[in-house]
A and B are shown apart, each in its own frame.
Chain A
Amino acid sequence: EAGVTQSPTHLIKTRGQQATLRCSPISGHTSVYWYQQALGLGLQFLLWYDEGEERNRGNFPPRFSGRQFPNYSSELNVNALELEDSALYLCASTGRVGTEAFFGQGTRLTVV
């Protein structure tokens, strides 16, 4: 069974551009979390989608947004990129809310 998949693996963007990151959850999982992990730091919660709805968002500016599609895959969009947005972006999926979450391999975003 396929795990959580994220694309692209690496992404290099220029300051001010937009980035789109994608996540496909494990088959049967309906909940998707997005986290940001800057180099050497902990996981910062970005967004949580469940059954197509945004359940919660972390303390990030509105230029971080996303959505969940009917097939439960998800997209994270970051507008007006800043240098400090450079980080590993991780997606995790769960089945029933409250159960164990599994992570994808992450997207390494570099803003230059």
Chain B
Amino acid sequence: AQSVAQPEDQVNVAEGNPLTVKCTYSVSGNPYLFWYVQYPNRGLQFLLKYITGDNLVKGSYGFEAEFNKSQTSFHLKKPSALVSDSALYFCAVRDSGAGSYQLTFGKGTKLSVIP
């Protein structure tokens, strides 16, 4: 079974400050990890993914995430937050094993960037 935990329901950060949105995961095999963002009344938009290789993954809109296998974490980061980053962020995992194509999402973290 695969699962994702996003321990914070909400994260508040001042504009211009660095932001971190936390994610931990559990899979039986090797993980494929994803971050998606959801704006009100919209579907999910892909930000970045980790498949293999460099533990630091860079994605869209200046976001990056660090894969830590020993801590089973994949935290989303951005050096300088923008008000327009305010949205709902979802971490997702997929087991790399054959036939395990479905994504399992966390409950989401609401990011509020305060001007």
The answer to whether A and B interact is no
Chain B positions within 8 Å of A, measured between CB atoms, are none
